[in-house]
Amino acid sequence: MLATRALSLVGKRAISTSICVRGEHGVAKVDDYALPAYFDRRENPLPDVRFVTELSAVQKSLKEKEKGSWATLSNEEKIALYRISFKQSFAEMNEGTKEWKSVIAGMFFFIGMTGLVVLWQRKFVYGPVPPTFESEWKEKEVQRMLDMGINPVEGFSAKWDYENKEWKK
Amino acid sequence: MSLAKPAMRGLLGKRLRFHLPIAFALSLVAAAAFKYGVTEPRKQAYADFYKQYDTTKEFNNMRDAGVFESVRTTGE
């Protein structure tokens, strides 16, 4: 807090100037991104600088009033002071966006594209299916499974009626 | 503009005291449901099946159907 007040009083570049001049190396150019920045993040509730850096006359007088007893500040003044220091409140910064709609739309689109690719593959890439899938073969396969008594207690053969030679109703 | 001060401590303890008994109870219910809905009927089904199982008859049926590799069908 003290540092931010010092910064706003002395000016951004003056601090680095006063440090560098002592060492007689001249003044290094300070890039904007290297200075403390303001950002609204839930995990960093008190950023390094205030949001509003250049205070208007009204805001300056408000800041002077802040130095006194806070009980004299009205609710609007407290909110004005808050808005000087912060851009968005926690409620504002945490509210959801409508991004999920784009996400779902993108998901459906790419699933659809994949479906088209799969259909093309079925037609133009894959060879014929093995003979074990033909109906005749499958009939013989089922008959053999029933003869062997596959899963006779609760599974496959349990559903076959051996007396009447048909599937149980 | 004076809100109540929110709870600052004991948040995990409070959550555990609420959720753990429920979790235990639901797990027990799930286990009991599976035991009495699935495993007990299954055990009963197997017991009933093998009570009426005639091994020789079933063997002869299979042999006649021709599924064995080391036993010839009857009549050869």
Task: Tell me: ipTM over 0.85.
Answer: no
Tell me how many degrees the CA angle A53-A54-A59 measures, rounded to the nearest 5: 100
Those residues whose C-beta lies under 8 Å from the C-beta of residue A52, and which sit 6 or more positions away, are A59, A83, A84, A85
Residues of chain A numbered 67-126 and touching chain B (CB < 8 Å): 75, 78
Q: Which residues of B touch A154 (CB under 8 A)?
A: 42, 45-46
Distance of CA B68 to the CA centre of its chain: 33
Structure tokens at A169: 């109703």
Cβ-count burial of B72 within 10 angstroms (0-12 exposed, 13-18 middle, 19+ buried)? exposed
Return the closest-CA partner of residue A51 out of A93, A96, A94, A95: A93
Q: Is it the case that residue A6 has pLDDT exceeding 90?
A: no
Residue range B3-52, pLDDT digits in tens: 899 999 999 999 999 999 999 999 999 999 999 999 999 999 999 999 99
Q: Is it the case that residue A37 has pLDDT exceeding 70?
A: yes
DSSP readout, A22-46?
A: HHTS-PPPPPGGGS-----BTTB-S
Task: State the Cα–Cα distance between residues A148 and B68, nearest whole angstrom.
Answer: 9
| Chain B closest-CA separation from residue A54 CA (Å) | 28
Per cent of chain A over pLDDT 90 is 64
Neighbouring C-beta atoms of residue A146, cutoff 10 Å = 19
Structure tokens at B50: 């093998």
| Chain B closest-CA separation from residue A93 CA (Å) | 20
* pLDDT category of residue A33 using cuts at 50, 70 and 90: confident
Q: Which residues are bridge partners to A161 per DSSP?
A: A166
Structure tokens at B6: 């929110």
Among A8-17, A22-31, A42-51, top mean pLDDT goes to A42-51
A93: left (phi over 0), alpha (psi -120 to 50) or beta: alpha
B65/A154 touch (CB, cutoff 8 Å), yes or no: no
Helix (H) or strand (E) holding B43: helix B40-51
Is the pTM higher than 0.90? The answer reads: no
3-state secondary structure A63-130: HHHHCCCHHHCCHHHHHHHHHHHCCCCHHHHHCCCCHHHHHHHHHHHHHHHHHHHHHHHHHHCCCCCC
What would the mean pLDDT of A75-89 be, rounded to a whole number? 92
Count of pairs with CB atoms under 8 A, one residue in A, one in B? 20
